[in-house]
Each structure stands twice: as C-alpha cells, then as structure tokens.
Amino acid sequence: MRILDYLYYRFYLLNLKTTMADIAEYGAVINLVVILGFNLIVICGNLGINLLVILPSRLFSLFFGGGTMVIFYFTFVKSKRYLQIIERYKDESKKDRLIGKIIIISYIIISFLCLLYF
C-alpha cells in the first residue's frame, strides 16, 4: 500500500502545481485510476487477453474506472487519509525527493510506452 500512497502523494503534488490545485486530492485519485487502468490493459495484453474486445471501452471505463475511483475516493479522500500521507512524506530530504520524482516519472513513461506497444 505504500507504493499507492507514494503515487497518490506525487500526483497530489503535481495537481497542486496545475489549475486543479483547489481539487488536488480528487485529481490525484483520477490520475491514479488512469495509470492503473493503463497497467491493467498492458498486463492483460501480455496474458493474451484483449480487455477492450471483451469489454467495450465504455463498459471497461464504468466497471474498472468507476469502481476503482469509488474505492480510492473512500480510501484517500473521504477518510482524510491523504492528509496523513502528505504529513508522512513532507519531510523528505532533497535526495529522496529527487529519487522519488525520477522513479515516478519513469513509471509513468514506461506505463504509456507499454500501453502503446500493446
């Protein structure tokens, strides 16, 4: 769960620097759902399962996207857990912060590239 917490934290900080600053906690949930949806499509593609043929894109969006968004909303936003996550990571050293940024950016780029490949 710490990986999801850190991803949420990084997406939250990213949203604070955009026009979504006033709803950053919700934007982070959306970002997290989208990137995990990409990962699910890639994993199923590696297993030989074409999710978008089995489930039309609207149905996939409804079940996976909507369901995951509701779960993450209650996990992070409704329970105010995002405040605990921010508190946990706010005292990161500059070195840890840089390493975290590199890892998260690499993860996002690899997720997009894998999605394009499959």
pLDDT tens digits for range 13-52: 989 998 888 999 999 999 999 999 888 888 888 888 877 6
**Rounded distance, CA 77 to CA 19, Å?**
19
Residue 100: pLDDT band with limits 50, 70, 90: confident
- How high is the pLDDT of residue 117? 77
Q: What is the DSSP letter of 71?
A: H
- Express as a percent the part of the chain with pLDDT over 70: 96
- How high is the pLDDT of residue 20? 85
SS3 content of the chain, % helix, strand, coil (to 5): 85, 0, 15
As a whole number, the mean pLDDT across the chain is: 88
**Rounded distance, CA 37 to CA 40, Å?**
5
**Which single residue is written with the structure tokens 């105010």?**
80
